[in-house]
Structure 1
């Protein structure tokens, strides 16, 4: 039923890939020889060729992110140019392009809306890939795509290497006395009969020191190491920007931002900039007030007259505790990973009528958990959960889709699979993985992405699940599910002390809920700073590090309540846009958040967060439809109105 995650012949991936690509080319050649091409005899099998190749490739990219070694790097480096070349050649194949256009015009009245959507997306993508260009320009585009793919991989690898190369050793307990016990246990080691503590740039370890480290110099040391990682990425950024600019100019666009929007829900560059600036203006003064509170506390507690960037997390945590009596360490025993998962699955069954059943399957690490998802006792999908931090694992959290739900041209049904990857605190022989509430929120977020892919009922692979979903709305289902991680009745499903089994009491849960909007304006301004920097960076060509820094500085001067030190080179670690797919699209987080907040507000307005009728309507109108229709139409079908930006500002406590 499901293809197993099997990497037995991994080191031979390059040769296998070449064989598979040759087979794909032969299949496409035979499809092109069909005289009377139709949707059924051409478009459907053409989609399946891509799906088959993706099934093979996804684990190669995935394993390099979760079990990074010299071998995975080598295999990926061998495969990247081959797949980039194949995809570029395919996307510029004028015969496929013409065939799709002919089928679209000849069969327009007989095709259903989903089939038309597949064709329209494909035709658009062929045009965005330069299929209409002269041969010399196509060749150049091919070179650019291969080079950009390699640079993106190099950017990510540099960042991972820099993250793994730093260690801060502390041997004075005074410098770690405020750090939560579970974090301290993970940091502790013995050397020459003395207890010492090691902190790294892995996110759980970095956060532990920057948030609770008593020694200000040590906080700056780890902050500086984090914000100056991979200085060699400066040159890679310059090269990426130059090549992207050349690429989009070849395709007839004025800028990469304009090119990026051709695949998104937002209509124009002006619309994106004005949307971000409107939010920034509405949150700017509140953010200044929030920062002032932190400054006043730092002055009161430690006589600190000038708050620096590396002080904010430390004093914010103290302020949060003072205002809400919220101690992360108090909560962590109540968010034991296994208990959280079990309760989360119970909640999802309650609202969406789906069940998670753990199964034995091949996996890449012993701590990975594999579940089949059942609907009315019938298996519909599979999910892999890799939740704990490891040294050989890329930082952050993400969902990756592997297989897609569809019915093929032989009428065989294919079931979807996906991975969720996080970097939660590690479990050890003596301590289970105890999560922060923010980790719980992350889990809900990534599961939102996964369910968008796994609950699809669309039969065409290119618009099923997250395939074909516009980038600026792909975060909608993930952010929507996040909101439930702050609901009292949802938390009670799993917030149980891992030793005593005592359920977290109402007062403690209320403190989490009340603290939800703590520094929400500061957080929003930070996101907008990133989004404006990303979008403006791609509106024209910036040719050197000084220009790029000047752009970032100008945005910070306009909106940020505190300026970071000059050594902070945030851009060199901005992997979302230089190592991932968010270039000129980081605004998507806020754009999609408007939809998610508005959808969640419907549950609030119904006075029942477990409103099953509403939840199932959301499941049927949003999750099951995948990319088969534009999200603005799907949202309207769900809400029966246009989305409102005020729901987001209300939920974040920025307006009342």
Structure 2
């Protein structure tokens, strides 16, 4: 055990040394310490912050330090052996969480601390932590009868396993289908760089031709560009029936019963805790406290957007008829003709545009932007061990060159890597009584499509750039905190529906002309992005924006309704509700009877955004209000940047966020700035102050 790398590292995990047999051993050792720590602190007669909270904070941090690398490797170096030991260890951790969350002695100790003389002397931040802990006890069923506590423990443990099963099914279904094309004429329209990646993928499997998969970069290259309608249809069919009873792998990795059980158990869990619905329970720790308010927010948005969406659909329809004699549009045609029309209207081709966004230039420019705004400096460190040769590490320093923390950057798509882009934490900022402070470390993960040959000068699309800025916003939120108590430091303790605010704000910088100059340069000629291309690119910001926003409304309403209107015993309720939402909201949504989107909607069934997907739109609304304030004073103005940093970003979960945002923006938050940002006409009747 002394040689277990998970138990013997100081700052950075030795990823290359971590083996499967180390996982269970490390988890069990640290959990034993956690159990013993709880037993010790509840036996203390004198209850203070230092005798109660501090020892458990240290023990929980040790658990975070060993579990975070395991969880991360399960996402970025996934294999069946790791999956098995991960899920086994997850059950041990779930058991511990249930035990500690319903520990009467520990709960009474925290109550005593709050009520006693020692509690009155706590700082405002410590009192906030204490209130959060006691609230979490209530949400974990501390008041339940012994019998109901057992039911609660079973449900939470089972849900943890089901969430993992759901994600595994999507992962397996995504990798379980591929299409080898041997006739190049069928691939007309697909950009050369995407074809080269497909050719190399086929070559890696010992095949000649071009291999396409359901991993999003490969899939989207066909849906956006391929002139062969039949191929677009086949990939669309395979992608939108993943993990279901339909499609090329029908019945294999099927999530239908998994979804039914997840919804049933979430409903039962909410009822046990005294809530009417699971959605109501989820709102207890968010900015928006009422399901009705969320519903009204989403429905009012749909009312604002629907006429614009219909107009956008007619434009695509007319364009496809006029330019391609397309009589009727199918779902697999929309993205293709949307891209064609965008090229026609704005003379923007992604293959040409990405030549101006080489990865090195984009990173340097992004770091320059936050240096100007927040006064921080970012430098690469070369001697940090990583899990893959492509992964890099960067340090962040404040204006006085003090180390604030750092982040791993994992940019490229791999077969053993979970899809999407995300930020997660290795550790958070934490004080220690021995004066040694723990600095926050994050993972920034993307899945950009880049072959081995291209990695020396990987070219990004503008959408890739936005994705990178988005996740970097989460990184900044985590690392630039001033709070050194993990529960409310960085992204922790922030209302979940505001968690996307910093990331949505960072995205908006990608549409500013000055920022575009900073983050772009032709990878061969070294010429800056020409003004006429910038102008054309900026016009695309509002192109088909209503369709995008309404799609987010549909996802948000679907997530709300399955967690707020669930009827016990009703099978396939997820698919039924999804189809109802589409008919209710969209004016022109094209779908097929075999479409099974819910079966691969990770946010609603596997991620932490379940019963909270509306958060993306809510946070975008908040970010749009903040963006207006940046625009008033100059978006690269350090004065407004540091004000946002010091009054909001760096304070984590310690503040009343709504009050702080109103103060920062000097006005009440409304949906109007978001609609204007996307170029959507605003109805005064639906300005919706929050």
TM-score bracket for the superposition, by shorter chain length = over 0.9
**CA deviation vs aligned residue, 1:156-175 (integer Å, no higher than 9, x gap):** 11111111111112222222
Q: How does 1:169-568 map to 2 (within 5 A)?
A: 169-188=180-199, 196-231=209-244, 232-359=254-381, 360-375=383-398, 376-429=400-453, 432-542=457-567, 543-560=569-586, 561-568=588-595
**CA deviation vs aligned residue, 1:510-529 (integer Å, no higher than 9, x gap):** 11111011111000100000
Higher relative contact order (CA 8 A, sep 6+): 1
In structure 1, distance between residues paired with 2:380 and 2:85: 31
In structure 2, distance between residues paired with 1:400 and 1:193: 36
- Residue in structure 2 matched with residue 69 of structure 1 by the alignment: 79
- Residue in structure 2 matched with residue 593 of structure 1 by the alignment: 620
In structure 2, distance between residues paired with 1:622 and 1:442: 22
Are 2:101 and 1:101 aligned?
no
Are 2:630 and 1:603 aligned?
yes
- Residue in structure 2 matched with residue 26 of structure 1 by the alignment: 36
**CA deviation vs aligned residue, 1:48-69 (integer Å, no higher than 9, x gap):** 2222211110111110100111
SS in 2 for 1:361: coil
79, 83, 103: which one aligns with 2:93 = 83
In structure 1, distance between residues paired with 2:558 and 2:13: 41
Give the superposition deviation at 1:34. Answer: 1.7
Q: Using a 3 Å threshold, how does the CA distance of structure 1 residues 203 and 51 change in structure 2: closer, same or farther?
A: same
In structure 2, distance between residues paired with 1:33 and 1:252: 31
Aligned residues of 1:32 and 1:95 also touching (Cα < 8 A): yes
Q: Which moved more, 1:186-195 or 1:387-396?
A: 186-195
SS in 2 for 1:179: coil
Question: Which runs of no fewer than 5 residues in structure 1 stay unpaired?
Answer: none
Q: Which moved more, 1:109-118 or 1:610-619?
A: 109-118
Aligned residues of 1:424 and 1:433 also touching (Cα < 8 A): no
- Residue in structure 1 matched with residue 611 of structure 2 by the alignment: 584
Question: Which runs of no fewer than 5 residues in structure 2 stay unpaired?
Answer: 1-9, 245-253, 683-690
Are 2:170 and 1:159 aligned?
yes
In structure 1, distance between residues paired with 2:467 and 2:83: 27
In structure 2, distance between residues paired with 1:84 and 1:544: 28
Give the superposition deviation at 1:226. Answer: 0.3
In structure 1, distance between residues paired with 2:168 and 2:572: 24
RMSD over equivalenced CA pairs, Å: 1.7
**CA deviation vs aligned residue, 1:376-395 (integer Å, no higher than 9, x gap):** 21111010000110111011
SS in 1 for 2:424: strand
Aligned residues of 1:5 and 1:59 also touching (Cα < 8 A): no
Are 2:598 and 1:571 aligned?
yes
Q: Which moved more, 1:539-548 or 1:430-439?
A: 539-548
SS in 2 for 1:402: strand
SS in 2 for 1:222: helix
**CA deviation vs aligned residue, 1:184-243 (integer Å, no higher than 9, x gap):** 110125789996211111111011000001111110100000000011101100011111
In structure 1, distance between residues paired with 2:36 and 2:284: 31
**CA deviation vs aligned residue, 1:289-319 (integer Å, no higher than 9, x gap):** 0011001111112221211111000000011
Aligned residues of 1:114 and 1:629 also touching (Cα < 8 A): no
Q: Using a 3 Å threshold, how does the CA distance of structure 1 residues 42 and 213 change in structure 2: closer, same or farther?
A: same
Give the superposition deviation at 1:356. Answer: 1.2
Give the superposition deviation at 1:17. Answer: 0.8
Q: Which moved more, 1:343-352 or 1:382-391?
A: 343-352
In structure 1, distance between residues paired with 2:549 and 2:151: 40
671, 679, 684: which one aligns with 1:645 = 671
Q: Using a 3 Å threshold, how does the CA distance of structure 1 residues 240 and 193 change in structure 2: closer, same or farther?
A: closer
Give the superposition deviation at 1:346. Answer: 1.5
In structure 1, distance between residues paired with 2:219 and 2:644: 38
Runs (4+) off by over 6 Å: 190-194
**CA deviation vs aligned residue, 1:568-622 (integer Å, no higher than 9, x gap):** 100000001111111110000011111100001112222x221110001011111
Q: How does 1:119-134 map to 2 (within 5 A)?
A: 119-134=130-145
Normalising by structure 1, we get a TM-score of 0.97
- Residue in structure 2 matched with residue 4 of structure 1 by the alignment: 13
SS in 2 for 1:429: helix
In structure 1, distance between residues paired with 2:385 and 2:81: 20
In structure 1, distance between residues paired with 2:82 and 2:336: 37
SS in 1 for 2:510: helix
In structure 2, distance between residues paired with 1:41 and 1:56: 24
Give the superposition deviation at 1:410. Answer: 3.1
Normalising by structure 2, we get a TM-score of 0.92
In structure 2, distance between residues paired with 1:14 and 1:307: 53
Aligned residues of 2:13 and 2:69 also touching (Cα < 8 A): no
Aligned residues of 1:290 and 1:522 also touching (Cα < 8 A): yes
